[in-house]
Amino acid sequence: AFRTGLPAWFQKHRRVFPWRARRTPYRVWVSEIMLQQTRTDQAVPYYRKFLRRFPTLKRLAAASPREVLRAWQGLGYYARARHLHEAARFVVRRLGGRFPSNPQAIRALPGIGDYTAAAIGSLAFGHESAVLDGNVIRVLSRVMALETLIHTGPAKRRLREWADALKIPGRTGLSNEALMELGALCCTPRRPDCPACPLGNVCRARAGGKPEAYPVRRRRARVPHKVVGAAVVVRRDGRTLIARRKDSSMLGGLWEFPGGGRDPGESMKKCIARELKEEMGLRLEVGPCLTVVQHAYSHFTIELYAHWARIRSGRPRSIHCAAFAWVRPGQFGRYPFSRADHQILEALQSPAGRAARKNLISAWFSGKKKPGLKGD
């Protein structure tokens, strides 16, 4: 079933993706990094956009971090983009611009773990490296009816042994892709299409009548919810203050409307004022709310309140941020933002947002020059 039925099924049902059309180590590498935390259908437009912007490894290495993050914008998990850029620069500077073919050298590049190294090795260089991604783990767990908790050491060792034993000698890249495709299209997490599965006649979970019981996982903990405030700080000339997150932080390298989490019992205006004092050394006058954003990350959700504000005293300093900038209304496109901050930006640039900004600037800064101009 694994060596005949599965390849035949794959040849018939395989989907068309741009990274399968013309395989080079660079194209395979970029696609595998994107697919680490992103579904294939979501990755396709970003992959095409990224390859148009950086068609070669050398072009990627020559780009600035901001350019790379802008090209990645909207895809999430931005550490992937930073690692991709770091690895490209390393390959150009230390390896003569040639992507390494040695398995250990591939694994040593930033952002590449065991799974990604195996995928790149088998697809780009023909290495005999079996892949264990989420789809493959699900397929093997069901075929073998693995009763062990999937994230434990014993389960991982058993899965690795099975993957190595079931790969097709000389065609490991094909068997890897076929198993991943089977998990994506047929052996899905919910309502698997067992009658259409080429491995159905050897699948123990199907024989037992409970394929959805595998893989065996711990019960998920409740997802934390955070309430956050952000300041849309404007000044007399219409520019808005934004800050760049430190590379070591979540969403590192991206720009944002500065702010932070609300303490228990704290009003939103006090939260924003406190955060801007701690983060940038500013004393603010916090005005009305511009918008409220609901956003979900992989391990928590946020409710983000964005309020208009002006500076009462102090000049912006990069105390707990990497940098800051005063941005003209038409220049936000030069800066990479997270999806949550993009929603604030959309509200800011909407007709209602533009009107509110004009009215606030007129009310706050008309007549005699006020302290809100500090920070120029």
**How far, in Å, CA of 61 to CA of 51, rounded?**
13
Say how many CA atoms lie within 13 Å of 276 toward its Cβ.
34
**How far, in Å, CA of 133 to CA of 53, rounded?**
28
Kindly tell me if the per-residue pLDDT of 38 is higher than 80.
yes
Q: Which CATH number fits domain 5-213: 1.10.340.30, 3.40.50.1820, 3.10.150.10, 3.80.30.20?
A: 1.10.340.30
Question: Both tokens of residue 286?
Answer: 């916090």
Dump pLDDT digits (tens) for 148-186.
999 999 999 999 999 999 888 889 999 999 999 999 999
For the chain, give the percent of residues with pLDDT over 70.
97
> What Å distances lie between residue 20 and 17, 51, 242, CA to CA?
5, 14, 40
Dump pLDDT digits (tens) for 263-305.
999 999 999 999 999 999 999 999 999 999 999 887 899 999 9
**How far, in Å, CA of 117 to CA of 9, rounded?**
26
Confidence of residue 340 (pLDDT cuts 50, 70, 90): very high
Dump pLDDT digits (tens) for 225-272.
999 999 999 999 999 999 999 988 888 889 999 999 999 999 999 999
- pLDDT computed for residue 367 by the predictor: 58
- What stretches of 150-256 adopt beta strand conformation (E)? 225-233, 240-244, 255-256
- pLDDT computed for residue 236 by the predictor: 94
Given this structure, which CATH class describes domain 225-373? alpha beta
- CA 308 vs. chain centroid, Å, equals 28
Confidence of residue 366 (pLDDT cuts 50, 70, 90): confident
**How far, in Å, CA of 315 to CA of 324, rounded?**
11
SS3 138: helix
**How far, in Å, CA of 54 to CA of 66, rounded?**
13
What is the pLDDT averaged over residues 309-337? 94
Kindly tell me if the per-residue pLDDT of 36 is higher than 70.
yes
What is the pLDDT averaged over residues 130-137? 92
User: What's the mean pLDDT when you consider all of the chain?
Assistant: 92
**Of residues 215, 213, 220, 14, the one with CA closest to residue 132:** 215
Supply the residues annotated as catalytic. Answer: 32
Sheet with 323-327, strands from edge to edge, namely 255-256, 240-244, 323-327
What is the pLDDT averaged over residues 24-37? 94
Domain range list for the chain: 5-213, 225-373
**How far, in Å, CA of 344 to CA of 305, rounded?**
9
Tell me the chain's radius of gyration from C-alpha atoms: 25
**How far, in Å, CA of 308 to CA of 330, rounded?**
18
